Amino acid sequence: MAVTDTAQTARAAGAPELLEPSPGQLLRRRIFGHAGLLIGAVVLVTIFLMAILAPWLAPHDPYDQVLERKLIPPVWFDDPKATWDHILGTDALGRDYLSRLLYGARISLLIGFAAMLISGVIGTTIGVLAGYFGGRVDMVANFIITTRLSMPVVLVAIAVVSLVGSSLTVVIWVLGLLIWDRFAVVMRSATMQVRDLDFVASAQALGCSTPRILLTEIMPNIVNNLIVVATVEMAHAIILEAALSFLGMGVQPPEPSWGLMISEAKGLMFFEGWLIFIPGIALFMLVLAINLLGDGVRDVTAPEGRN
């Protein structure tokens, strides 16, 4: 009897290691089992690297106009002008399309990230305060959110940019100040879900200061939701920047913004369709990658969240 007992205890002690994987292992398993998350991450990292390494990767100067080499089609076109020197061809001013595309990735990522940061700070502050305090604070926050939602984003953004004068900084700030609503709404309800839990009550009982409770008790528990909203809003900001630039109220020529490239190619698109397809597909891939990453993070951190 004694012998079996020892054996069972020994097995029980060793069992968790053998049978049950650690939470970290489980998480890794979920991450590597999620195709969307992996594809999104790989595409996003690739675009990010291309943006950073643009000066080394770009075969030509993106601003260099060579008028005798204008409108060369991409290399896969059956056209005598197509050349490996300009893999994606050249635009109406003879600028290398691949180089402009690579530099354009910088603008999209920069504006998307910066606008997301600004809106994230504003929205999270409003949402967490509203969710934690409730009552009057919540009422005021709700009012601000409703007011913001009532104003048409694209229209207000274009109007403000046209009045202030457009530059990269202005576009970033205008977008950042306009798209914080989803952050506020999601952070508010996420905070409400954790604020009444026991560990928050114990922190309050211990006499922790409110900022400390918000930062060390609430925030770590809603950070997953924050990441998901952050990806959605970054994608949103990138699409809005492209739309603004397309309408002529965003990034100004000769900068190689993807939206601007589509806008510049608009007049020629009936003859040279690839001029709008190439930057459009780049834009689509970037936004898709960010969205897949966000959906993946949501699925991996909360597997029940998909429904």
Partner 1 sequence: MFAYILKRLGVAVLVALTVSLITFSMIYLSGDPAVALAGENATQEDIERIRDFYGYDRPIIVQYFDWLFRALQGDFGQSHYLKKPVADVIFDRLPTTMLLGLFALIFALTLSIPLGVLAAIRPNSLIDRVALTIAVIGQAMPSFWFALTLMLWLGVYWQVLPITGSSSWLNFVMPAIALGYYITPAVMRLTRAGMLEVLSTDFIRTARAKGLRPPTVLVKHALRNAIIPVVSLAAVQFGFMLGGSIVIETIFAINGLGFLAWESILRADLPMMQAIVLVLSVFYITLTFIADMLNAWLDPRIRVT
Residues at the interface with partner 1 (CB under 8 A): 143, 146-147, 149-156, 158-160, 162-164, 235, 239, 242-243, 246-249, 259, 262, 266, 269-270, 273, 276-277, 280, 283-284, 287-288, 291-292, 295, 307
Shortest Cβ distance from residue 93 to partner 1 (Å)? 20
- Angstrom distance (rounded) from CA 219 to CA 241: 30
Return the number of the residue (152 or 220) whose C-beta is nearest partner 1: 152
By residue count, the chain amounts to 307
Rg (CA), the chain: 25
Spell out the residues 6+ positions from residue 249 whose beta carbon is closer than 8 angstroms to its own.
157, 158, 161, 162, 166
Shortest Cβ distance from residue 173 to partner 1 (Å)? 12
Spell out the residues 6+ positions from residue 102 whose beta carbon is closer than 8 angstroms to its own.
50, 51, 54, 57, 58, 62
- Angstrom distance (rounded) from CA 240 to CA 237: 5
Return the number of the residue (118 or 292) whose C-beta is nearest partner 1: 292
Return the number of the residue (13 or 163) whose C-beta is nearest partner 1: 163
Return the number of the residue (217 or 241) whose C-beta is nearest partner 1: 241
Return the number of the residue (222 or 287) whose C-beta is nearest partner 1: 287
Shortest Cβ distance from residue 232 to partner 1 (Å)? 9
Q: CA distances (Å), 51 to each of 24, 55, 116, 214, 232, in order?
A: 32, 9, 18, 36, 20
- Angstrom distance (rounded) from CA 201 to CA 176: 34
